[in-house]
């Protein structure tokens, strides 16, 4: 009786030792993924700033400048792609879905930066497959982890805020009014297309609200310029000066609140 009791006690202790090891492994992996996600977020933000800086150095909407900015952005984002390649072993099997909450914030920021580079180069929305391809082995195309539709949609939704910045900050440049009108139509179409997914994807409704604010700001800016230009037969140079002065007052404090609303849920999830 005492021997069986001893064996039973040893088996229970071994089982709890195994549980402890699993929990320690889970918590250690979780902390590593949180740190990696923060690093991805920082690199992605710096990439967006880099592309805006390159675009801002030009006094016109030159497609060649936008293409250079996109190429520089893609080069910078290779650092993120290398980081995700190293994280592959951490996210094998069902681990990705167990740790999706820790991975999603950085992944959405990466998709935002990648989609901005894609828009600058091609003027279109990057597809789900194109994003997944950047997160796959270049030799055999095997994904490092499965990209979820929710992360894709939430990431490209954040792109709308960057496009608002791009449209308004460059509206006084040569060709800026035409570019702003094109971006306005693009953002409007994306918002309409994303609306059907809001009942199924958590947080997408919040993103749509921010997109509505961004769209309103682009529409207000472009409408004011069209009306001002039609009311007064102004020379092109004078109209550009008026636009630049109007935009400087419009953009003061414009982006801070929007960025805060758009990013707050990411830090909460971490």
According to CATH, what is the number of the domain 29-147?
Answer: 1.20.58.190
Closest to 214 (Cα-Cα) out of 244, 239, 251, 269? 251
What pLDDT does 11 receive? 78
Positions in the chain short of pLDDT 50:
1, 253-265, 267, 269-270
Tokens of 206: 């919040």
The three-point CA angle 207-208-213 to 5° equals 100
> How many residues in total does the chain contain?
270
- According to the model, what pLDDT value does residue 218 have? 93
Rounded to an integer, what distance in angstroms lies between the CA atom of residue 178 and that of residue 164? Answer: 14
DSSP state of 136: B
Bridge partners for 136 per DSSP: 143
Q: Is 62 helix (H, G, I), strand (E, B) or coil?
A: coil
Average pLDDT value over all residues in the chain: 85
Q: What pLDDT does 214 receive?
A: 95
Classify 139 as helix, strand or coil: coil
Query: What is the pLDDT at residue 137?
Result: 92
Q: What pLDDT shows up at residue 254?
A: 47
Q: Residue 186 corresponds to which tokens in the numbers above?
A: 């693009």
Residues contacting residue 134 through CB under 8 Å, at least 6 positions apart: 77, 81, 114
For the chain, the straight-line distance linking the first and the last C-alpha, in angstroms and rounded, comes to 51
CATH architecture of 148-254: Up-down Bundle (1.20)
**Residue 231 pLDDT:** 67
Query: 181, 194 in Cβ contact below 8 A?
Result: no
CA distance 63 to 55: 10
Collect contacts of 249-257 with beta carbons under 8 A, ≥24 apart: 250/168, 250/217, 250/220, 250/221, 251/168, 251/169, 254/168, 254/217, 255/161, 255/165
Q: Where do the structural domains in the chain lie, given as residue ranges? A: 29-147, 148-254
| Cβ 202 vs Cβ 266: under 8 Å | no
- Angle at which helix 254-269 crosses helix 149-169, to 10 degrees, equals 160
- Contacts (Cβ under 8 Å, ≥6 apart) of 239: 225, 228, 229
R_g of the chain, CA atoms, integer Å: 24
Residue 123 is classified by DSSP as S
């Amino acid at each position: 009786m005492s021997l069986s009791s001893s064996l039973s006690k040893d088996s229970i202790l071994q089982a709890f030792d195994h549980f402890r090891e699993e929990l320690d492994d889970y918590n250690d992996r979780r902390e590593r993924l949180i740190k990696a996600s923060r690093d991805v977020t920082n690199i992605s933000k710096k990439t967006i700033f880099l592309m805006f800086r390159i675009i801002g150095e030009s006094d016109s909407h030159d497609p060649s400048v936008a293409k250079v900015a996109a190429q520089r952005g893609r080069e910078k984002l290779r650092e993120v792609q290398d980081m995700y390649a190293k994280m592959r072993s951490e996210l094998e099997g069902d681990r990705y879905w167990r740790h999706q909450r820790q991975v999603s914030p950085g992944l959405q920021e990466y998709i935002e930066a990648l989609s901005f580079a894609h828009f600058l180069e091609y003027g279109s929305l990057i597809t789900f497959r194109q994003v997944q391809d950047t997160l796959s082995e270049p030799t055999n195309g095997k994904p490092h982890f499965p990209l979820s539709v929710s992360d894709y949609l939430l990431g490209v939704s954040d792109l709308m805020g960057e496009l608002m910045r791009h449209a308004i900050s460059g509206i006084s440049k040569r060709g800026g009014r035409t570019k702003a009108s094109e971006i306005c139509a693009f953002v409007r179409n994306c918002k309409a297309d994303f609306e059907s997914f809001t009942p199924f994807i958590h947080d997408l409704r919040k993103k749509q609200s921010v997109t509505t604010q961004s769209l309103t700001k682009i529409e207000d800016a472009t409408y004011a310029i069209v009306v001002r230009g039609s009311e007064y037969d102004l020379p092109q140079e004078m109209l550009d000066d008026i636009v630049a002065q109007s935009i400087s007052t419009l953009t003061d404090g414009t982006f801070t609140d929007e960025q805060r609303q758009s990013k707050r849920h990411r830090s909460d999830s971490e």
